[in-house]
Structure 1
Amino acid sequence: MTNSTESCRVLKEPRLVERKFLARPQHEGAGAIVRRSIGRFELKYFDPFLVLDEFSVTAPAGFPDHPHRGFETVTYMLQGSVTHEDFEGHKGTIGVGDLQWMTAGRGIVHSEMPAAQGTQKGLQLWINLSSKHKMIEPRYQEILSKNVSEAVKDGIKVRVIAGEALGTKSPIYTRTPTMYLDFTLKPGAHLEQPIAISWNAFVYILEGEGIFGSLKSSPVSAHHLLLLSNGDGLEAWNKSSKPLRFILVGGEPLGEPVVQFGPFVMNNQEEIDQTIEDFENCINGFEKARHWRSESSLSLDI
């Protein structure tokens, strides 16, 4: 006979923590500070994820005009605000809780700079695109904080950036199938969140400390990245006296070769060489880069 707790279990094979990294601060862009967890020496790629940065920027530092090709960037603000401009004429500012899901596709040149006084903080995730999607036209999905799907249950609050949790779905379209959930667990709360068995998944802790995968595991604190094993979902517990906040991200592996040169991510060296040539000559998607500069970079010339 199974007891009531076992009969109510959502997960049959909870994922365990396979590897753990502490994301240490490093310099990036023009004076910005990032804690990079994916995309560093020890973990260059976690299919389909290329980079995860927890960034901290105070003007005049930032991320001035730079190109991308072959992947998507997801920017999620935790504090302050950032203004984005690109050579297609798109410009906007995202503040606390706001989200920008940018598909760079065949090419974009843009800037991301502080839009307020003080320190701006957020997360930026790079998601690889499959070979058939790398050269699509750039596009954006932007959602204000008030429009991000949320659910609350049993001491758990979730903001559904992409995918589904606690019966709530996100309107974001993910070309590479992706789940991106922002959880806050009150003291004593216990989470069981399903994850597609074939997907890779990780946790990044923003605040507090929690136990992940098994009650036998030691508590893990902020700025740690946890790579999860195979299984059908994640279990997490907040046994501390303070709230626990973390993101849970999962994605369908592409299983394709990856060649990266800075902001360009393709499938082989020939495509990287072609991308560099396209960018240098302002062709094949980079035509507008020839005469464009962001307003923020022009203001620095004064």
Structure 2
Amino acid sequence: MHGSESCSSGAFEEARMVVRKFLARPQHEGAGAVVRRSIGRFELRYFDPFLVLDEFSVTAPAGFPDHPHRGFETVTYMLQGAVTHEDFEGHKGTIGPGDLQWMTAGRGIVHSEMPAAQGTQKGLQLWINLSSKHKMIEPRYQEILSKNIAEATEGGIKVRVIAGEALGIKSPIYTRTPTMYLDFTLKSGAHLQQPIPVSWNAFVYVLEGEGVFGSSKSQPVTAHHILLLGSGNGLEAWNKSSKPLRFILVGGEPLGEPLVQVGPFVMNTQEEIDQTVDDFENFTNGFEKARHWRSGAATGVEF
């Protein structure tokens, strides 16, 4: 991504306006977990290449017990508390506040994600579609502890660069589907100009405070709203309130491919979905290890 120096100095040829916005309302998912789903619900089934965005709240014993994925990536970013994840490949770990897990499910993974601390665990999970040529790759993880996430501060703006580039710093995360994922905090009075590649789809999700996006004359938007951005080559945002504003800006290159989804399986054709369901039920073609595997969380074993 080029032109990050214009964050502080230049205006855009065309700033992106907000073309749609709505409030993500709480709903139940998994085993007793509560999520605010903004992408992947009836108002917005798919925002190429993004399949799901959940802001989740989980308090033990609730959680997301053993479940499969194929054909996309899950990006889990913890805001509060901790979650332990475990999969049938023997991969296991805990991500705490500010930590990131970027999981490429590829041809198949079965895993669990369960609370690992007292109280309520909160975070964001984003599902990013994979192109047809990447859907059946081997699963892999990229994990970054909070202390290792690239950060920059400039003119009342702080950014944590989860993927992509902002304020002149880059994330080490490799994105198969080209993606930017930026966590911004704006102090009162701060004004942000962040470049976004013209061809990409992009959205804002507000976490805390209230902000003005797209045009300085727009109405302020509060927490738990998603804003879909129209065409242009950057985002402008203002914090005109007295409290800090925190939001994520996410953008990605659209795949422009057919999409067939059944729950946690996302492929390009119905035939591929039927094959995936068959593979999962028969423990074949990437799901072999699911036959005898149960997570510690599922069997009540203490971590």
TM range (shorter): over 0.9
CA RMSD of superposed structures (Å): 1.1
Aligned-residue offset at 1:8 = 4.1
Give distance in 1, aligned partners of 2:285 and 2:35: 31
Aligned-residue offset at 1:12 = 1.4
Q: Which amino acid is 1:35 matched to?
A: R
Aligned-residue offset at 1:9 = 2.3
C-alpha deviations, 1:181-233, integer Å up to 9, x for none? 00000000000000000000000000000000001110000000000001000
Where does residue 256 of structure 2 map in the other structure? 255
Aligned-residue offset at 1:92 = 0.3
* Residue segments in structure 2 that go unaligned for 5+ positions in a row: 1-7
C-alpha deviations, 1:144-201, integer Å up to 9, x for none? 0000000000000000000000001000000000000000000000000000000000
Aligned-residue offset at 1:300 = 7.2
Where does residue 161 of structure 1 map in the other structure? 162
Where does residue 29 of structure 1 map in the other structure? 30
Partners of 1:10 and 1:194 within 8 A in 2: no
The number of equivalent residue pairs is 295
Give distance in 1, aligned partners of 2:96 and 2:22: 28
Give distance in 2, aligned partners of 1:211 and 1:12: 19
Where does residue 197 of structure 1 map in the other structure? 198
C-alpha deviations, 1:45-80, integer Å up to 9, x for none? 000000000000000000000000000000000000
Where does residue 4 of structure 1 map in the other structure? none
Q: Which amino acid is 1:177 matched to?
A: P
Give distance in 1, aligned partners of 2:57 and 2:85: 16
Where does residue 110 of structure 1 map in the other structure? 111
Give distance in 2, aligned partners of 1:168 and 1:183: 13
Pair 1:17 & 2:18 matched = yes
Where does residue 207 of structure 1 map in the other structure? 208
Runs (4+) off by over 3 Å: none
* Residue segments in structure 1 that go unaligned for 5+ positions in a row: 1-6
SS of the counterpart of 1:124? strand
Give distance in 2, aligned partners of 1:8 and 1:155: 14
C-alpha deviations, 1:86-109, integer Å up to 9, x for none? 000000000000000000000000
Q: Percent identity?
A: 85
With structure 2 as the length reference, what TM-score do the two structures score?
A: 0.96
Where does residue 238 of structure 1 map in the other structure? 239
